[in-house]
Amino acid sequence: MLRPLMKLKPALLSFVTGDPHFYGFEGESFDFMGEPNRYYNLLSDTQVQVNAYFVHFPTSGADNFTATDQLGILVHGHRIGISPTAMAIDGCEQHGGERFRVGGSTASVERFDRLDDRVPARMRTLLGFGDLIRGYHIETRYGYEFVVTVSTDNVNPPFLNLLSRMNGRLWPHGIIGQTADHDGKARTPHGHQGEGIIAGTYRDYEVSSLWASDFKYNKYRSAERSHPMFERLRDRFSRLTAAATRKLVAKASAS
């Protein structure tokens, strides 16, 4: 079994479930409806990305509810696609078996039909997590684990639920990723499109496909993490380099 390279206990958890309800890495509870038949980025980091395809979800006669119909998980260039009826790795649908390797040691996918202790007890009572058709446990070598479940046949249409586990002090972006700002404070939501939680507006997180990274806050395959700490380190390095260059120039001029 693959284990993440970075380990921090307790790990930070987030959830996306139902129509759809979001639970952030630091305890936020908020809604992000998006729009049906559109793709959105949930989590974006340098080697891991998670996109979701939202569809209309009929409930209580409302016409503005959505649910997750597909998930596209990119891990170091490898694609793990999950829908209510299938799971594919790098475009090849997987049949039979319980465990699959992705890109050698890049990630693994385990198929299961019993939730057991893969999610906290409080989540097992939520529709879709505790009452499921099947599920998938994805482990990566980049500090992230995911548990995806397909909701019960009693829900029409079935939808996907996502648990994200962060093993390490990582700084992702995306609708759910940005809640991991490691300040220990839950943000205060308002509205039904992530207001009060997300940077910008909900439209800033739309992508053109299940595998696209073309949204405003993309970090996938970026050269560096954009957390302020890294910006400060880069600025300090630039100042030190400039100072050293000036000294060399002055020394050369004097000689």
Q: What are phi and psi of 243, to 5 degrees?
A: -65, -40
Q: Residue-wise over 194-215: b if at least 16 C-beta within 10 A, else e?
A: beebbeeebeebbbeebebbeb
pLDDT at 163 over 80: yes
Stretch 119-136: mean pLDDT = 70
The reported pLDDT for the residue numbered 7 is 42
Per the prediction, the chain carries an average pLDDT of 84
The reported pLDDT for the residue numbered 156 is 72
Residue type, 169: R
Stretch 9-23: mean pLDDT = 84
Q: If DSSP codes are grouped into helix, strand and coil, which group holds residue 230?
A: helix
The reported pLDDT for the residue numbered 6 is 42
pLDDT at 132 over 90: no
Of the candidates 173, 177, 176, the one whose C-alpha atom is nearest the C-alpha of residue 216 is 173
Between residues 227 and 34, which one has the greater pLDDT? 34
Between residues 116 and 98, which one has the greater pLDDT? 98
- Cα 146 to its chain centre, rounded Å, is 8
The share of the chain scoring above pLDDT 70, in percent, equals: 79
Q: What are phi and psi of 17, to 5 degrees?
A: -150, 155
Say how far apart CA 8 and CA 6 lie, in whole Å: 7
Residue 118's pLDDT band, with cuts at 50, 70 and 90, is: confident
Residue 186's pLDDT band, with cuts at 50, 70 and 90, is: confident
pLDDT at 215 over 70: yes
Between residues 70 and 251, which one has the greater pLDDT? 70
Say how far apart CA 131 and CA 154 lie, in whole Å: 9
Average the pLDDT over each of 27-36, 52-61, 207-216 and give the range with the smallest value.
52-61
pLDDT at 154 over 70: no
pLDDT at 230 over 90: no
Stretch 142-149: mean pLDDT = 95
pLDDT at 103 over 60: yes
Stretch 38-47: mean pLDDT = 97
